[in-house]
Structure 1
Amino acid sequence: MENAALLKAIIENAIDGIITISDRGIVESINPAACNLFQCVPEDIIGKNISVLMPPPDRNLHDAYLHRYQRTGEPHIIGIGREVTGLRKDGTIFPFRLGVSEVQYSGRKIYTGFIHDISREKEAETRLKEYASHLEELVEQRTISLKRSVQALLMAKEEVSLSLEKEKELGQLKSRFVSMASHEFRTPLSSIQLSSVLIEKYAQEFSNPNITKHIAKIKMSVSNLTGILNDFLSLERLEAGKTEALVTEFDIVKFAEEITEEMQLVAKQNQSIIYQHTGTASLFRIDQSLLKNCIINLVANAIKYSGENTFIEFNTEITGKTLTVVIKDNGIGIPDSDQKHLFEPFFRAHNTGNIPGTGLGLNIVSRYVDLMNGAVAFESNVDHGTSFTLTFSRP
């Protein structure tokens, strides 16, 4: 009696619905949780065929499932764990996961159905699909908008170049154009970048690969356009003579670790930036801003021209009065015929294909290294990667 009372208490207080039916599909008992789900009282259901709780087509298929189970003895045939829909008393339907077990009781077979309401799961799935669809549309719209902005910039530059007759006027107009573009485009780009970060944060609970993919597209597009703006602005300042080396002493290791962490965020899938410092000394006197620009430019190139699932080596070494920085990748490499032009402005190697870029990055790196009285060298082989080495002497 005590065991029977305990079992009854468990069934009466269960969170999921529990229904028992005879081998003919007649309901013999129903617990309160199931009554709440179907918005009924026991008297409405007991003595009736279980199919009254199911809308078509499950109602029409249920007896066939039951007969097949009785004939074959295979529980999965009648749907252990399968998703079905239930019919409430008010005519509304809801989804639930159904598990059925056979029980021998008092010399006869009865079947126990365990009903787990999955309405919230289905609603979440629907919202997620709608969210992913909206995000995909948003990415497409933003991509089109960004492309139009770039095309507008290129058209404006072409029209300006054609309208100018003197080199002095061209230089002045170019300076104003770059400053305007920098201010006008940085604000919306920052907003887009922030929005993508927030979307990624709010979408973490869904763990949907489509959301992650489209957020990555947004971030990559923003990163590419920001890089273009930075290159043009840096070139304009260099040509105007506004860039000077400001030497300070700082910790190279901490500085390089921060850059590594920053660039790892924009790396491709499963790309790893491996940083290593050689030697016990870590302090060095050099222009921190110019050095950071050089390293970020080279690491960004390594990311851009290497594939997924690759390593990028980033090494620093201080020996005596010399600082050496090495960035090495296993990417597409630089053809021999292109290497002599590599540091020329607007030059891009012939094997870059559709990979975006301005052809200004390495020219800027070379000129910044010159301002810091350093030297830049490289080694490269097609399909085997590229290694850049920056060398600076302590002033």
Structure 2
Amino acid sequence: MPKDIIVNILPVMENAALLTAIIQNAIDGIITIDERGRIESINPAACKLFQHVPEDVIGKNISMLMPPPDSERHDDYLNRYNNTGKPHIIGIGREVKGLRKDGTEFPFRLGVSEVQYSGRKIYTGIIHDLSREKEAEETLREYAMRLEELVEIRTQSLKKTVEALQQAKEEVSLSLEKEKELSQLKSRFVSMASHEFRTPLSAVQLSASLIDKYAQPFDNPNIAKHVAKIKNAVGNLTTILNDFLSLEKLEAGKVEPSFHNFDLVKLSEEITEEMQMVAKQNQNIIYQHTGISSTVKLDPNLLKNCIINLIANAIKYSGENTFIEFNTEINDHHCIVTIKDNGIGIPEADQKHLFEAFFRAHNTGNIPGTGLGLNIIARYTDLMKGKINFKSSVNQGTSFTILFPQNE
């Protein structure tokens, strides 16, 4: 062979080898068929996709790699193109299905081109597997459907919740309206009861005092004893009425402290004298003040109520022949009020509930009381921006201390 011919053939051979290497190593499947639809070549990627070896398919009709109905229609597609020149899928990348050797199908994108080779036409098909894309699409579609279901469920749940909240709102509004009506009714009742009961109680108190006076010439201890019982019962009822009236005013927000300067020592001495008159036999209230100043800025009426309640408790829960210490102190920062007794004390288990309304310690027995006094004291103290503390031991007495800030 002439040397110049060999030189010309070598590049052609190199190009053919390069093309073969590209086809053999392509990640997409490549199949060529003739004008009659018979397979002439198939690369390894296509063999892997269809699960065939080249010997299985070369020389056979391409329809063997197609599921129905494309397998039955392929020859018609090819004949139509050969006769009319109008392709069915040639040159168009479209999604079709392939048929594997095991009978399963898989989706792929097919691109077909016509090639003139050695004076004849062949068709080259590029096959790009879409299995993973379709699986991902299916997964996304399932997620989307599930999400739509969840959204629908949540929407229905939210709708039910909104309806329930609306119903609850209406019920609460109705309940609040009824509570408001009951509160107003309670307020009117407490005010009416306080007024209506005070009149006969005052009459009973006056009559008892007159009986005591008129019975003195007779010097009858039984009369004196029963008159004392009447006076004591009237005092207890009056205290109960006062406690309920004070609580009702607090609950209704009708108590507003009125701060102004007054003489704490003078007020305390008046309270001591007043409470000494209702003390038990040989009970002595010892008052002492500490500090060079005696003027404070508080609400005298609320403070008086607090002190009287605490001293009344000390009298009530202490025995005869005892001392009740009543101390006041004014320093640069605080006004301090302390009432200390040597009475029955408060059980440790009850101390955390002491300032709750209607709570009474378990060791009070038959000693009368409403359980409102300390609750009212704590609330009055809070209105005056003060704090109340206590120390107590059973059978060793109780000490209450109220601190009010000064010069603020």
- TM-score by length of structure 2 reads 0.55
Q: Distance in 1 between matches of 2:189 and 2:216?
A: 40
Residue 279 (structure 2) aligns with: 267
Residue 292 (structure 2) aligns with: 280
Residue 310 (structure 2) aligns with: 298
**C-alpha offsets along residues 70-100 of structure 1, whole Å, 9 cap, x if unaligned?**
xxxxxxxxxxxxxxxxxxxxxxxxxxxxxxx
Q: CA deviation at 1:322?
A: 1.5
Q: CA deviation at 1:206?
A: 4.2
**C-alpha offsets along residues 279-323 of structure 1, whole Å, 9 cap, x if unaligned?**
221111110000000011111111111111111111111112411
Larger Rg: 2
Q: Distance in 2 between matches of 1:253 and 1:361?
A: 23
Residue 169 (structure 1) aligns with: 181
Q: Distance in 2 between matches of 1:249 and 1:241?
A: 24
Q: CA deviation at 1:166?
A: 2.8
Letter in 2 for 1:220: N
**C-alpha offsets along residues 321-370 of structure 1, whole Å, 9 cap, x if unaligned?**
41110011111100000000000111111111111111111000000000
1:385 equivalenced with 2:388 (yes/no): no
Q: Output the aligned Cα RMSD.
A: 1.6
Residue 350 (structure 2) aligns with: 338
- TM-score by length of structure 1 reads 0.57
Residue 185 (structure 1) aligns with: 197
1:218 is paired with a residue whose SS is: helix
Q: Distance in 1 between matches of 2:311 and 2:242?
A: 15
Q: Distance in 1 between matches of 2:234 and 2:396?
A: 29
- Runs of at least 5 residues in structure 2 that lack an aligned partner in the other structure: 1-175
1:371 equivalenced with 2:383 (yes/no): yes
- Once the two structures are superposed, the pairs formed by residues 306-325 of structure 1 within 5 Å of their partners are 306-325=318-337
Stretches of 4+ aligned residues off by more than 6 angstroms: none
2:345 is paired with a residue whose SS is: coil
1:348 is paired with a residue whose SS is: coil
Residue 128 (structure 1) aligns with: none
Identity of aligned residues (%): 74
Letter in 2 for 1:196: A
Letter in 1 for 2:190: V
Q: CA deviation at 1:372?
A: 0.3
Q: Distance in 2 between matches of 1:334 and 1:317?
A: 25
1:366 is paired with a residue whose SS is: helix
Q: CA deviation at 1:251?
A: 1.0
Q: Confirm or deny: 8 A CA contact 1:282 1:318 kept in the other structure.
A: yes
**C-alpha offsets along residues 24-73 of structure 1, whole Å, 9 cap, x if unaligned?**
xxxxxxxxxxxxxxxxxxxxxxxxxxxxxxxxxxxxxxxxxxxxxxxxxx
1:219 equivalenced with 2:231 (yes/no): yes
Residue 86 (structure 1) aligns with: none
- Once the two structures are superposed, the pairs formed by residues 115-264 of structure 1 within 5 Å of their partners are 166-264=178-276
Q: Distance in 2 between matches of 1:270 and 1:328?
A: 17
Q: CA deviation at 1:210?
A: 2.6
Q: Distance in 1 between matches of 2:285 and 2:224?
A: 21
Letter in 1 for 2:227: I
Q: CA deviation at 1:201?
A: 3.2
Report the more deviating stretch, 305-314 or 378-387. Answer: 305-314
Residue 11 (structure 1) aligns with: none
Q: CA deviation at 1:261?
A: 1.1
Q: CA deviation at 1:259?
A: 0.6
Count of residue pairs the alignment pairs up = 232
Q: Distance in 2 between matches of 1:255 and 1:338?
A: 32
Q: Confirm or deny: 8 A CA contact 1:246 1:287 kept in the other structure.
A: yes
Q: CA deviation at 1:235?
A: 0.5
Q: CA deviation at 1:202?
A: 3.4
